[in-house]
Structure 1
Amino acid sequence: MSLVEFSSDVFLVAFFLYCFAFMFYVIAVAGKKWSNRKPADHERRWGKIAFITSSLGLAAHLAFFFTRWAGSGQIPTSNMYEFMTFLGMSIMIAYTIIHAIYRKPLLGMFALPLTVIIVSYAAVFPSDVQPLIPALTSNWLKIHVTTAALGEAFFAVGFAAGLMYLLRVVDFKQTSKEARRSQFWVEFTLYSLVLIVGFIIAVFGFRGAGYEAHFIQEKSEIDIKGIEQTTTEKVAYALPPIVKPYNSQTVEMDSFLGMEKPLLEAPYWMNGVNAGRKLNTVVWSVIAGSILYGLLRLAFRKRLGAVIHPAMEGIDPEDLDEISYRAIAIGFPIFTLGALIFAMIWAEKAWGRFWGWDPKEVWALITWLYYSAYLHFRLSRGWQGLRSSWLAVIGFVIVLFTLIGVNLIIAGLHSYSGA
């Protein structure tokens, strides 16, 4: 067995350990109401078991990272599969550090599922070791990617604590206009997370069924001499094509629920070779996630926020607010170094300029400016509690768009990482 194959097995072990750790954290927090032990003793016992399990998962994840590095001869952060697995590992490192400071088992009940979602999302992408393009061979890239991801991981922990704060203080029984508005946005945040889960389920479901659809797309461009050049590209779908590529012909398409041909065509301005497939993926994410959300609502017969809110009782919201702030405060200087300073050094080595207004560079700057504003409002304006938590939640949405949306939707020099 090669080291790369061994790393894949260890990665699977890490995934299941994270899942078990999450269940143990749920028992630690929610199970204390039905335990024969004192609530504090029950939470301490199961919290310790959960933390040990999550630490073992992190150890397995680290083993995956280093064995894949040794087996492939290159740091495993060069494509979406490798970067997202590294981000999941970084979130667990950040969580472990924050847990060591505050010793709050409840944080694990939110940080672990976030890690599981990101790791599952990574598994959607091809896991094969891919050869590096010249721009990825710099040592500065390794420093840039790892530190940027670690900073974003602390932002993720801040997001988890901020969302917990909102679920703790927002009363889902009140009917005032302000209360309903807060309830809606908390529920919308949970719905957005369910959309990601629904997308993952849809991808693995159709992949397991062996679904395939293939198209040929013609693309016309005007070269520097003013002559129109027409090229033909092949596009493969792993999800039923509700939206086919613009200006394309169907080569082969498996039938799905009586759908023998695509229902729609991507708009003309989405004429990139993968643009239609990505739009189709977004559509399926909304469909699968909405169905999953609807099933959860039917099962619990209430909003998800109202289901989770009772588990927050007895938790000091000021502790959650402090954890969210500290996590972001730790992550901000790390992100500044990785996503801006080291990134600019790498850009100069790879492309001969420190800054080029590439979409990924622009959104990294937007992320940095946003968290700069967060810290400013927190420290200078005294924005704490509800305002601070909303900023932490919105900030991580920006991080996710920078990581996923820019790579997969907007074309640029960083598009290779979406391969």
Structure 2
Amino acid sequence: MSWLNVSSDAFIIAFFLYCFAFLFFAIAVAGRKWSNREPAAHMRKWSRIAFSVSTLGLAAQLTFFFTRWAGAGHIPTSNMYEFISFLGMAIMIAFTIVYLIYRSALLGMFTLPLTVIIIAYAAVFPQEVQPLVPALQSNWLKVHVTTAALGEAFFAVGFAAGLMYLLRVVDFTQTHKAARRAQRWLEFTLYVILVVIAFILTVFAFRGMDYTASFAREDLSIDQKGVQNQMTMRVKYTMPPIVKPYNSEVVEMDSFLGMKEPLFEAPSWMNGVNAGRKLNTVVWSILAGALLYGLVRLLLRKPIGAAIHPALDGIDPEDLDEITYRSIAIGFPVFTLGALIFAMIWAEQAWGRFWGWDPKEVWALITWLFYSAYLHLRLSRGWQGMRSAWLAVIGFIVVMFTLVGVNLIIAGLHSYAGV
């Protein structure tokens, strides 16, 4: 059996172990109310089981990482599948460290689903081993990417703790203006999470159906001598094309629910041959997310936040606030080293300049400035509690846009990572 086969199996094992660990953490937190044993004893028992299973999952993912490294011949962080997988592993490393400090089963109940979602999202991308492009053929790849991801992993744990804090303190029984505003924003945050989950489910559903559609698009370019060159570009869809590429013709399209041709054409101002496909993915994600949210609301018959809130009764909000702050405080210097200092050193070696205003560089700086502001407001202005939690949630949204949005939407020197 080759290293890559072992790696693939270890990836699947890690995914399912994380799912089971989440279930055990949920039993530890929610089951204490119905257990015949003393609640604290019940939580300790199931927390130990859950943490043991999550540790086994981390061991399986470490096996995935090193066996893929052995099979590929280079550190597996060179494309979106590998990097997002590594981020999921880094989140589990960060969670393990924070959990050993605070022993909070509730943290596992919220961090493990985040890890599962991220690993499932990684599986959306092509999993074949790809040769390194010249810019990645450097030892700084190991240093820059791993430390940046580890810093972002601690931000993810801070996000989970911040979201828990909001679910604990936002009172859905209040009707005054400030309370209603907090309820709406918290519910919107949960909706966004469901949109991501729905996107993953939709991708795998259509992949299982082996759905395909393809379009031909004529692209006209003018070289330096003023000569016009016309090329026919092929764009392949793996989801039914609600939106087709601009100025394109259908080459092949499987019918879906009676839809035999695209409903709309991407606007002309959307540049790039794949712009229509990306817009189509966004449309499907929003539609599937709205459907999933509606089904959950129908099942719960109340806002999702209001349904989760009672499970957090008895949890000290100050503990969650402390975990949020400590996680970000640990991650910030690690992120500073990896995403800024090591990145600039590598940029100077690869491209002959420390800074070039590449979109990924700009958004890494925005992320750093955001968390700098978080720490400043926390330490100097006393921003604790709800304001601190909202900053932690918003900050991780910025992180995810830096990782995913920039690679897949904005063209730049880091676009190879989105292949």
The CA distance in 1 between the partners of 2:15 and 2:249, in whole Å, is 40
Aligned to 2:245: 245
- Output aligned runs, 1:92-131, within 5 Å: 92-131=92-131
Superposed CA offset, 1:126-185 (max 9, x none): 000011110011111211110000000000000000000000000011111110000000
Aligned residue-pair number: 419
The CA distance in 2 between the partners of 1:392 and 1:403, in whole Å, is 17
The CA distance in 1 between the partners of 2:104 and 2:253, in whole Å, is 51
- Output aligned runs, 1:126-141, within 5 Å: 126-141=126-141
1:298 partnered with 2:305 = no
The CA distance in 1 between the partners of 2:274 and 2:417, in whole Å, is 14
- Contact 1:159/1:393, CA 8 A, preserved across alignment: yes
- Output aligned runs, 1:67-78, within 5 Å: 67-78=67-78
- Output aligned runs, 1:36-185, within 5 Å: 36-185=36-185
User: Identity percentage over the alignment?
Assistant: 74
Aligned to 1:353: 353
The CA distance in 2 between the partners of 1:243 and 1:327, in whole Å, is 41
The CA distance in 2 between the partners of 1:407 and 1:246, in whole Å, is 21
- Contact 1:359/1:406, CA 8 A, preserved across alignment: yes
Q: SS in structure 2 opposite 1:234?
A: strand
1:210 partnered with 2:218 = no
Residue 30 of structure 1 aligns with an amino acid whose one-letter code is: A
The CA distance in 2 between the partners of 1:4 and 1:148, in whole Å, is 25
Structure 1 vs Structure 2 CA RMSD: 0.7
Structure 1 residue 226, shift from structure 2 partner: 3.3
1:379 partnered with 2:345 = no
The CA distance in 1 between the partners of 2:201 and 2:135, in whole Å, is 34
- Output aligned runs, 1:243-282, within 5 Å: 243-282=243-282
The CA distance in 2 between the partners of 1:220 and 1:248, in whole Å, is 13
The CA distance in 1 between the partners of 2:311 and 2:303, in whole Å, is 14
The CA distance in 2 between the partners of 1:370 and 1:222, in whole Å, is 41
Structure 1 residue 349, shift from structure 2 partner: 1.4
Aligned to 2:23: 23
Residue 372 of structure 2 aligns with an amino acid whose one-letter code is: S
The CA distance in 2 between the partners of 1:170 and 1:80, in whole Å, is 36
Q: SS in structure 2 opposite 1:215?
A: strand
The CA distance in 1 between the partners of 2:11 and 2:241, in whole Å, is 31
Gaps of 5+ in 1: none
The CA distance in 2 between the partners of 1:229 and 1:383, in whole Å, is 58
- Contact 1:219/1:271, CA 8 A, preserved across alignment: no
Structure 1 residue 302, shift from structure 2 partner: 0.6
Q: SS in structure 1 opposite 2:126?
A: coil
- Output aligned runs, 1:283-362, within 5 Å: 283-362=283-362
- Contact 1:245/1:271, CA 8 A, preserved across alignment: no
The CA distance in 1 between the partners of 2:57 and 2:161, in whole Å, is 21
Q: SS in structure 2 opposite 1:287?
A: helix
Aligned to 2:400: 400
Aligned to 1:197: 197
The CA distance in 1 between the partners of 2:410 and 2:79, in whole Å, is 16
The CA distance in 2 between the partners of 1:214 and 1:121, in whole Å, is 23
The CA distance in 1 between the partners of 2:225 and 2:103, in whole Å, is 66
**Please, what TM-score do these two structures have when normalized by structure 1?**
0.99
Aligned to 2:363: 363
The CA distance in 2 between the partners of 1:109 and 1:46, in whole Å, is 12
The CA distance in 2 between the partners of 1:133 and 1:361, in whole Å, is 19
**Please, what TM-score do these two structures have when normalized by structure 2?**
0.99
